[in-house]
Amino acid sequence: MKILILKFRNIGDVLLSTPLIKNLKIFYPDAQIDFSLNKGTESMLTLNPNINKINIYDRENIKSLPFLKKFWKELRFFKSHKKEKYDVVINLTNGDRGNLISWALKAPIRIGYSNQRWFFRKIFTDELPKQGLRHTVEVTLDPLRVLDIPISTKLVEIFWSQKDEHIVNCELNNINNFIHVHAVSRWIFKCISDASMAQIIDYCEINLGIKVVLSSSNNNYELRKINNILLHVKSNPINLAGKLSLKQVAALNKKAQLFIGVDTSIMHISASNNTPTLAFFGPSGADHWGPWDNNLKKSSYSRRNGLQLMGMHRVFSESRSCQPCGNDGCNGTKISDCLMSMDLNKIQENILEMLNDK
């Protein structure tokens, strides 16, 4: 049995597909499961024992090429799948690239989302239902329901190496009791104000006496954002922004007492590590994207906004009627008003409650 899964989306999307991979491997223990994804997201699956091969699509590079070179690169990527002769192809996103690969492979079973464009209408042998108000983890398991395969686990998981572990241990320098704060997203409209984040860091360090460790990517915007937050702080957090890979951030997070951060892939990594996670949500909805508790079988994010809990994790959001809007900020500003005026007293109360629960 050869199975191909296609997910040309972002880092968190790929991570949340790991329960599907795990269940397929449980049901088909001898299956070869391959996965095709965008470059930059592969670390969510590398070292995963249930994956045979990862096909990486270098989207940014190919987009920048002249037409003929772009066409040739796309064709080579398509052809790289053909030789495997897959029995099952699962396209987890409704995009042209995944649809075309599904069509080209002519696998006996092809699962994907209905597309109204005439060329794609009969590509799939089985169609997936729409998301509705369901959590993304549940949606990613829909192919199992289509195939009538029992859902044995809803565990989201990530793997890293001993080398990653060693690098993190060296950076921490024997600090064991700390809070992991990931204050930034490449999407600026998901960030709370720098001043508010600084006050949260100071509360943890000064009032609670717990060291804070900061992380971010090495993206220039994210590094500038971290530096600006540090201009506001009165305490002395450990700044590892830009110093760690995604795998190493995962290894760091696993050691933390608590994670505090915005709606981003690191939030999902934290939840997969079973690290209690406090996430700030604005334009996006917890019902789709809230941190998933691996100890539970069902999402408890039943509302579109407001403070919500799923097991050990919490989503902190205002209760504005416009939330979640799905927009990249208010009125074209790239800034979300609902994230600029959050109640810091309530945030502090939740931090203290979560630490006491821990």
Pair 127, 191 in one domain: no
Pair 307, 179 in one domain: yes
| Tens-place pLDDT, residues 127-146 | 999 999 999 999 999 999 99
Pairing of the two strands 126-128 and 109-113: parallel
Q: How far apart are the C-alpha atoms of 301 and 263, rounded to whole Å?
A: 15
State the average pLDDT for the chain: 94
Instruction: Tell whether 157 is covered by a domain.
Output: no
Instruction: Tell whether 37 is covered by a domain.
Output: yes
Stretch 42-52: mean pLDDT: 98
| Tens-place pLDDT, residues 302-356 | 888 889 999 999 999 988 888 888 899 998 888 899 899 889 999 999 999 999 9
Pair 78, 134 in one domain: yes
Using the structure block, give the residue that is written with the tokens 């070869």: 32
Pair 111, 207 in one domain: no
Which CATH number does the domain housing residue 288 bear?
3.40.50.2000
Kindly report whether the global pTM for this prediction surpasses the value 0.85: yes
Report DSSP letters for 156-190, one per residue: ------HHHHHHHHHHHTT--SEEEEE---SSGGG
Q: How far apart are the C-alpha atoms of 223 and 36, rounded to whole Å?
A: 30
- Percent of the chain beyond pLDDT 70? 98
92 sits in which H/E element: none
Pair 108, 171 in one domain: no
Stretch 112-132: mean pLDDT: 83
Could you say which of 146, 175, 206 is where a domain stops?
146
Instruction: Tell whether 141 is covered by a domain.
Output: yes
Domain containing 249: what range?
Answer: 162-357
Q: How far apart are the C-alpha atoms of 23 and 45, rounded to whole Å?
A: 15
Pair 130, 166 in one domain: no
Instruction: Tell whether 156 is covered by a domain.
Output: no
| Tens-place pLDDT, residues 190-234 | 999 999 999 999 999 999 999 999 999 999 999 999 999 999 999
Pair 89, 182 in one domain: no
Pair 141, 169 in one domain: no
Instruction: Tell whether 282 is covered by a domain.
Output: yes
Pair 339, 200 in one domain: yes
Domain count, the chain: 2
pLDDT at 165 over 90: yes
pLDDT at 118 over 70: no
